[in-house]
Each structure stands twice: as C-alpha cells, then as structure tokens.
Amino acid sequence: MDLLQTYGFMLIVFAAVVGFFMAWGIGANDVANAMGTSVGSKALTIKQAIIIAMIFEFAGAYLAGGEVTSTIRKGIIDTAPFVPLPEYLVLGMISALMAAGTWLAVASYLGWPVSTTHSIVGAIIGFAVVAIGVEAVSWGKVGGIVGSWIVTPALSGILAYFIFVSAQKLIFDTDEPLKNAKRYVPVYMGLAGFILSLVTIKKGLKHVVKSGDLSISNTEAYIYAALVAVVIALIGKFFISRVKIDPAADKEMHYNNVEKIFAILMVVTACCMAFAHGSNDVANAIGPLAAVVNVIQNDGEIAKKAELAWWILPLGGLGIVAGLALFGHRVMATIGKGITHLTPSRGFAAELAAASTVVIASGAGLPISTTQTLVGAVLGVGLARGIAALNLGVVRNIVVSWVVTLPVGAGLAIIFFLMLKAILL
Amino acid sequence: MPGNSILGVFAKSPIKPIEEHINTVHQASERLLPFFAAVYNNDWDLAEKLHKEISEIEKEADVLKRDIRLQLPSGIFMPVERTDLLELITQQDKIANKAKDISGRVYGRRLEIPAQIQVDFKLYVQRCIDAVEQSRKAINEFDELLETSFSGREIDIVEKMISELDAIEDDTDSMQIELRKSLQTFEKDLNPIDVMFIYDIINWVGGLADEAERVGARLELMLAR
C-alpha cells in the first residue's frame, strides 16, 4: 500500500511511458495492415495514406476508443480478488504493457505478423493467474473475447462477400457499368459514414464528453448518423463528378474508368479503416495504463465505476500518430510490390467490411484484432471470386502466429511481474 | 513483403503472365507469314533468319510458362481451378512449339511450296494464324473476367469469342481439304518424298488452328464451373 503512496506518481509516469511506447509500436506496425489495401490498389499514394491514417487513427482513438479500453481495463480480469492487493494490480498491468511491448518489438524485428490485441489480452491473463490465481480471470469474458476472434473474421468475411457481390450485381455486371458506378458508389460512401458515425455517437462520445451532459436518444443518434451519411455521400458525388473519364483507357480494359470511381470510394473506406483501427487498437496500449492510473489516483482503491482520466485517450492517439510519422513510411514502402490485380473495387469491399466489423465490435466493447477482420474480409472477397490469387500458406502462418502470441504474451507478463515484484515489494 | 502485415496474403496474380504468354505465342505464329513469303521467293537466308526468330520467341514463351508454373504452387487460392490454369498454359505453349516445328522442318529441308497451290496455301496459313489471334483475344479478356468475378455478361462475351474461334477453325479444316485435293492432282510430277513432307506441313499448319481451338476449349471449361 505504501508503495502506491510513495511511488504513485512515478509508477503512473512509467506506465504512461510504456503505454505510449506500445501505442507507438501499434502505429508503426499495424498501419501496414490498416492502410495496405488502399496503397496496394494504388488508390492512395504512401504520403496520402500516412496523412489519412494520422488524422483518422487519432480521431478514432480519441472519439471511439473508450469502450474497448474499459474492457481491457476491467473486463478481462475480475478485480475483486485484487482489492486487498492493489499494488499487484498496478504492477501487473505495467508488466502486461512491458510484455506486450517487448513481444511486439521482437515479432516486428523477426517479421512475424502478430496481433496487438492478442498479446495484451494474453499478458493480462498471465499476470492475473500468477498474482492471484486462476480465479482472478473472468474466464467467461475471456471466452467471449477469444470466441469473438473466431466470429469476427467470419462476420467480416461474410460482410465482404456480400458487399462485393452487391457491387458486382449493381455495377460490374450491367450494360452501363460506368453510369451505375456513378450512381451507386456514393451510396457505399454513405453506408460507411453511417456506421462510423452511429457507433461514435452511441458508444464513443460518452468517454470524451464526461457523462451527464450528453444524452442522445437512439432516434437522435440514428438521425445524426444518417445526416453524416448524406453529407459524405454528397461530398463523394462531387468528387466523382470531377473524375476524368478517359475513353481511351477503356480500349485496354473497359473497367478502367469504373475503377477510377472506386478509387475515390477507397479514400473513404481507408479513412474508415484508420478510424476503426484507431478506435480498436488504442485500447491495447492504454487500457492497462488506465487501470494503473485509476488505482493510484483512488489511493489504492479499486473502483467499480471509474472514469477514464482525460489525458489517457489523447496520449494513446498521439502515440499511434508518432509511430506512424516516424516509421509508417518505411513499412508502407514495402507495400504494393508484387500485389497485382488488387483493384479498388476489391479493396473497398474488404476494407468496408473489416472497418464495419471492427467498429461494431468496438462499440460492443470487444477487443478484437483488426488484422483478423481484414484477413477474414480478404478471404470473403476471394471466395466471391474477386481476387486473382491468395496465398493460403501465408494465411496459415498468420493464424499460427496469433495462436502462439497468447501463451508468449502470458509468459512474458509473468516474468516481468515476478521481476517487478522482487524489485519493488 | 512486410512481415507484420497481411499483405503477404495477396499472391502474385497469374492473369497478366498468362496474357503475356499467349501474346508471345501469337507473335511466334505470326512470324510464319513472312517466313513463308521468303520460302515462296526461295530466299533461304531470310527464311533462316525468321526461323531463328521463331525459335527465340518460342524460348521466351517457355520461360514465361515456367515462371507461371513456379508461382502457382498448391495453396494458392484462385477464382479458377489451379489445374485448369496450368493446363491452359500448357495448351497455349503448344502453339509456339508447333510454329517452331513448321519453320524448322520447311527450312531444314529447303522445302518448296509448289506454285500451283501457293495462293491457296498463303490464305490457309493466314486463316490458321487468325485462329491463334482469336484465341489471343479471348485470353486477353481475362482481366475483365476477373472484374466481373467470372460471371454474368463478360462470360457471354468470351463465349462469343470462343464460338467465333471454333468457326475459324472450321474454315481451316475445309481449306485443308481443298489444299490436299489440289495437291493430289499434280503430286506425281513432284519428288515423292517432298510431297510427303508438304502433306505433313499442311497438316501441321492446320494444327496451329487446332491447338488454338483447344486453348478456347480450356478457357470454356474453366468458366463452366
């Protein structure tokens, strides 16, 4: 107990630094996943992708990142056994951050695709089991989270399949694909805007605007979201009207101009993807930090209902943006080589489906893996016969790395926890 | 490929290489026109040069074929069956081999096409190369097929192209019959061994159209799933 009073401020600073480092790693590494399809299909240049990612990752983290943060903070473990031992919770959360951060750094160095979500969840389970015992983990919750790792890729795959097939039916397989593209693409833009704004209004804003003075009824939320959707669709329509239709391009391939219109849609879905990624993954970095801050500011009391400190969400958002700014370029530069025939009309379906799934899951407070939803979505488009070639071997490797990440994250967290305990207690 | 990204999931698309391959194959067969022109003029130096060119292009096609096979290991998931694609490329490659065989045999034996059938023979070669050109057109619809995810209208367009290809191949069959008939009327005036070879060459040139038609048939099978 005296540990928290004596070193409280230092512990917060330390946790904030580690949390920031973790957010920074998310920004540096995961940006390739979130923005890769846009860059790969040549709808965006690397520079544009980085700028979009910076703005929308931060917006997503700040406006809609609160819900998942709460789950990471108090959903995975049962805080009741920690009440007599608040310092265990503080040290444990710090070790979880260190473990996940270390594992991400190692994996990036070795070039393995790992999920930040998996590593942090594994780490939190790991320290809880060592600190208190098996009963400290809310296994039901964890089961739900792990279950969602299987359900969400499937969901986003199904979504991607139907979005893609709808685009085929409405636009590509018609007499006048170009005319129909101009007509229906704004609808897809509106759809993307609707889902994003709805979840932000319903779930995200209450963490930003402190409770009480924000009461939006369901109907109002839908109305606002619909308004945003219409605005986005109109803006999209304006930009589509400015696309240079090049009749000569159709000699090579008569869908060239249609793809140009989809490239504009891709800009919108890329924004969505960045927003979704920010809202979902920022929690992995700052959830444990929020827990640490709570315990220390309440003098070791583990409160059931605790507010997020005001500075935590922006800190995570800034961390992601910093990672993007410093390393995003390097990661992005490797994209787009060797990806052939990934056209905007395919990329958009995968991105829209993945972003929607992530945003909906974030709204439900589930920490899911952005990468997983994206892989699911890509496979969905593939099953709709939309992608020229998919490498199932790589899919297998990615899945294996996810499975490995859980026990590794747990193991590392245990080591760090025991070390901190030996040093400080 | 960045390790920490899902982009490795996207394998290299085989579509562009397949189109490139049929274009190369078509180039090889097209060279037969100037080749035979040189043969009619008894310009054997030019014929040799063109035969060498055809061999070179055939080698290029082989390299492309090998590349495609290597980048399609099992575990690649495509909208079309992998085996279909591999068989298609094998079939395409036969056209180039045929063109090389024809020019090689004619040049190797200094085989002259008799003046009485030269006019018809010229038209016949042209028609057989038309068949190859038509198969090239059909294969070049591949990226449009992918855009419409191998269904709907685009399939109809390709189907039309393939039936056009079949019609061209029919033409070449009847031309071949006519050629044989005319050759038979004066074959006893020629060196018997040469005549045997001319019959062979007529057969092989027709083979170009046959192989082209089989490319179309393979494509059709691929789309019929």
Task: Give yes or no for A391 touching B (CB within 8 A).
Answer: yes
Q: What is the pLDDT of residues A371-403, one digit of tens each?
A: 889 889 999 999 998 888 898 888 888 888 888
The confidence score (pLDDT) of residue A253 equals: 53
Sorting pLDDT into bands at 50, 70 and 90, what band is A214? low
Helix (H) or strand (E) holding A390: strand A390-391
Interior/surface letters B89-99, b for 16+ CB within 10 angstroms, e for the rest = bebbbbbbbbb
Out of B6, B146, B154, name the one closest to residue A388 (CB).
B146
How much is the average pLDDT of A288-304? 81
How much is the average pLDDT of B7-32? 91
- CA distance to partner chain B, nearest, from residue A253 (Å): 7
Residue in chain B lying closest to A346 (CA):
B147
As a whole number of Å, the CA-based R_g of chain A is 22
> Does residue A307 have a pLDDT over 80?
no
Non-local (6+) Cβ contacts of B185 within 8 A are none
How much is the average pLDDT of B35-63? 96
Least confident of A360-374, B108-122, B123-137: A360-374
Angle among Cα A120, A122, A124 to the nearest 5 degrees reads 70
Q: What is the pLDDT of residues A321-330, one digit of tens each?
A: 888 888 777 7
> Does residue B2 have a pLDDT over 80?
no
- CA distance to partner chain B, nearest, from residue A99 (Å): 18
The confidence score (pLDDT) of residue A115 equals: 83
The confidence score (pLDDT) of residue B5 equals: 64
Q: Which amino acid is at B155?
A: I
The position carrying tokens 């193991």 is A411
pLDDT, mean over chain B: 93
CB contact under 8 A, B6 and A375: yes
Q: What's the rounded Cα separation, in Å, for the pair A126 and A137?
A: 9
Tell me which of B32 and A44 has the higher pLDDT.
Answer: B32
Q: Which residues face A77 on adjacent strands?
A: A137
What three-state secondary structure class fits A24? helix
CB contact under 8 A, B147 and A172: yes
The confidence score (pLDDT) of residue B18 equals: 95
* Cβ neighbours, 10 Å, residue B141: 18
Task: Give yes or no for B7 touching A (CB within 8 A).
Answer: yes
The confidence score (pLDDT) of residue B179 equals: 96
Best probe of the A interface among B1, B4, B67, B153, by most A CBs < 10 A, is B4
Q: What is the pLDDT of residues B147-203, one digit of tens each?
A: 888 888 889 999 999 999 999 999 999 999 999 999 999 999 999 999 999 999 999
The confidence score (pLDDT) of residue B64 equals: 96
> Does residue A30 have a pLDDT over 60?
yes
> Does residue B37 have a pLDDT over 80?
yes
Non-local (6+) Cβ contacts of A422 within 8 A are none
> Does residue B146 have a pLDDT over 50?
yes
How much is the average pLDDT of A27-45? 81
The confidence score (pLDDT) of residue B202 equals: 97
Q: What's the rounded Cα separation, in Å, for the pair A282 and A118?
A: 13
**% of residues, chain A, pLDDT over 90:** 29
Tell me which of A394 and B86 has the higher pLDDT.
Answer: B86
What three-state secondary structure class fits A358? helix
Q: Which amino acid is at A59?
A: A
What three-state secondary structure class fits B50? helix
Sorting pLDDT into bands at 50, 70 and 90, what band is B27? very high
How much is the average pLDDT of A233-242? 91
Q: What is the pLDDT of residues A256-266, one digit of tens each?
A: 889 989 999 99
> Does residue A336 have a pLDDT over 60?
no
Least confident of A79-83, A123-127, A334-338: A334-338
Least confident of A302-306, A381-385, B37-41: A302-306
The confidence score (pLDDT) of residue A1 equals: 52
Least confident of A171-185, B170-184, B210-224: A171-185
How much is the average pLDDT of A292-315? 79
The confidence score (pLDDT) of residue A425 equals: 76
Q: What is the pLDDT of residues A96-111, one digit of tens each?
A: 999 998 888 887 777 6
Sorting pLDDT into bands at 50, 70 and 90, what band is B1? very low
Sorting pLDDT into bands at 50, 70 and 90, what band is A210? low
Tell me which of A274 and A304 has the higher pLDDT.
Answer: A274
Sorting pLDDT into bands at 50, 70 and 90, what band is A364? confident
**Set of chain B residues whose Cβ sits within 8 Å of the Cβ of A337:** 1
Q: What's the rounded Cα separation, in Å, for the pair A322 and A289?
A: 18
The CA-atom distances, in angstroms, between A58 and each of A81, A116, A209, A318 are 35, 17, 16, 7
Instruction: For chain A, positions 36-55, list CB contacts with chain B under 8 A.
Output: 36-37, 40
Task: Give yes or no for A338 touching B (CB within 8 A).
Answer: yes
Name the CA dihedral angle for A221, A225, A227, A230, rounded to a multiple of 10 degrees: -160
Sorting pLDDT into bands at 50, 70 and 90, what band is A339? low
Residue in chain B lying closest to A341 (CA):
B13
CA atoms within 13 A on the CB side of A84: 4
How much is the average pLDDT of A335-339? 54
**Set of chain B residues whose Cβ sits within 8 Å of the Cβ of A343:** 147
CB contact under 8 A, A389 and B6: no
- CA distance to partner chain B, nearest, from residue A405 (Å): 13
Q: What's the rounded Cα separation, in Å, for the pair B96 and B112?
A: 22
What three-state secondary structure class fits A311? coil
